[in-house]
Structure 1
Amino acid sequence: MKLAILSRNGKLYSTRRLVEAARERGHSVRVLDPLRCYMRIASDGFAMHHQGRPLTGYHAVIPRIGASVTRYGTAVLRQFELMGTFTPNPSDSILKARDKLRCHQLLAAQGLGLPATVFGDNPDDTSDLLAMLGPTPHVIKLNEGTQGAGVMLTEKLSASRSVIEALRGLYANFLVQEFVAEAKGADLRCFVVGGKVVATMKRQAPKGDFRSNLHRGGTAKAVTATAAEEDTAIRAAKLLGLGVAGVDLIRSQRGPLILEVNASPGLEGIEAASGVDIAGSIIECVAIGGKKPTTHAGRGLLRQA
């Protein structure tokens, strides 16, 4: 099978592992920088080139699109979809996951647990907005931040107002959430592939911080998720249309609460903690999907593997 991986850096751990896993299983695989892909869109068909050469005949594409290139990267992925290429994470699903506000609205509408969240625009409404949320501490996070960047904890109401005023002055989009104290600075990353949780790790924030991200100095160890936690993670990924997802949960007195659904979850931390060949699971899942006929969106054509 001919596979493509959309990644800006072929030397990154996750990209390298996917390439290794694909080649170990006898697939042809190529890493493509999405910013070097460019496309032709016309009513008579779709075409795409990468560094001067046509991109044709790919059975499947695995997106590893960073937050900084979300808009262009998903446009490239959408072009692959329109050309009949299978992907486990469609472009629209990635966009849903990247927009934290939209993601939370979709999850809450289906009854999935998450920390109470408020969102508003006008400075005149800040006091009432925070009253809707409840007492401090509050967690304030940028709507499209990643790896713990742009996430702040405020312990006093005056601090919440000050941070909100500063972010509004920067024209930033942000959410304000309740702080779930019983989580004690820990969360779970459930890695979902093909509708199953293939590995789970517990991440613990370093002393003096509440963010458990490994990029922020957090530690990780393999754990066994409960049936409720696995069900929550699987439902969240399915709701967003993601075949591959890292679903971050916290354990609370009212059950598992979703913090975030990551459409391009890193492999290094969870493979090291769990010892599971997650890259191999992804490739096997993609290989199954890539063998199925794919409808050419808007044209009704079929691509046969």
Structure 2
Amino acid sequence: MKLAILSRNGSLYSTRRLVEAARARGHSVRVLDPLRCYMRIAPGGFAMHYKGRPVSGYDAVIPRIGTSITRYGTAVLRQFELMGSYSPNPSDAILRARDKLRTHQILAAQGIDLPTTVFGDNPDDTQDLLSLLGPPPHVIKLTEGTQGAGVMLAEKASASRAVVEALRGLYANFVVQEFVAEAGGSDLRCLVVGDRVVAAMRRQAPEGEFRSNLHRGGQASAAEASPEERAVAVRSARALGLGVAGVDLVASARGPLVLEVNSTPGLEGVEGACGVDVAGAIIDYVAEKAKKNQ
């Protein structure tokens, strides 16, 4: 298999592990900075150049596209798709997953449970909007935030209104959600590859923090996802069209709830905590799918 990995930095853990896993299996692999890819678009004539040279003939492309370059990165990925390359996470699926509001709408339409979420635009509707959600605490999230950034907890109704008004003043896009207190600052990251969960880790928020993200000081440990949790994680990834995803679940009185679906999950935390060759599982999955795509 001739494989490209779209990544700004080939030395990043996740990118490096994918390269190692691909080469260990005898595949040809190259890391391409998506910002150095440029395209020719014409009917029947899609072409790509990279640093002055033509790029073509890749059986598969694995996107490791950061949020800061979502628009250009997905355009590059789409060009590869139009040129016949397979991707486990197509460009449109990444765009769906990057928008929290859109993700929640898609999952809810599929009957997948998640924290109750409200969204509105007009300041005159703030009071009624929050009444649709119920009493605080409320979690307020920027719709394109990542790694816990742009996630705030408002413990009083007045605080919720103040944060909502401040974000509207900044023309930010956000949603407001119920706070799942029984989770105790813990969530479960399920690494989905194809139709199975290949690894799962429990993340626990540090003292005085409600966000369990590892970038926020959360502690990770290996976990065994229940059959229900595995089913919810796989259904969530499939609903968004993702072949590889990190699905974050939180335990609640009504069962597992989906917090987020990440189209570019980091591998360092989950491989370190679980001792599982997640990169290898991804490469095996991509190779199998790319072969069928030929």
> Scaled by the length of structure 1, what TM-score is found?
0.96
* Residue in 2 that maps onto 1:219: 219
Query: 1:194 and 1:126 mapped to 2: Cα distance?
Result: 40
The letter of the residue matching 1:226 is S
The letter of the residue matching 1:61 is V
Aligned residues: 294
Query: 1:94 and 1:178 mapped to 2: Cα distance?
Result: 25
Q: Deviations over 1:175-222 (max 9, x none)?
A: 000000000000000000011100000000010000000000000001
- 1:170 shift after superposition: 0.6
Q: How does 1:1-305 map to 2 (within 5 A)?
A: 1-293=1-293, 304=294
The letter of the residue matching 1:270 is V
Gaps of 5+ in 1: 294-303
* Residue in 2 that maps onto 1:296: none
Give the secondary structure class of the aligned counterpart of 1:166. helix
Q: Deviations over 1:85-119 (max 9, x none)?
A: 00000000001110100000000011101000000
Gaps of 5+ in 2: none
Query: 1:50 and 1:292 mapped to 2: Cα distance?
Result: 27
> Scaled by the length of structure 2, what TM-score is found?
0.99
The letter of the residue matching 1:12 is L
Give the secondary structure class of the aligned counterpart of 2:135. coil
Give the secondary structure class of the aligned counterpart of 1:255. coil
The letter of the residue matching 2:67 is A
Q: Deviations over 1:44-78 (max 9, x none)?
A: 32000111111111000000000110010000000
Give the secondary structure class of the aligned counterpart of 2:248. strand
Divergent runs of 4+, >6 A: none
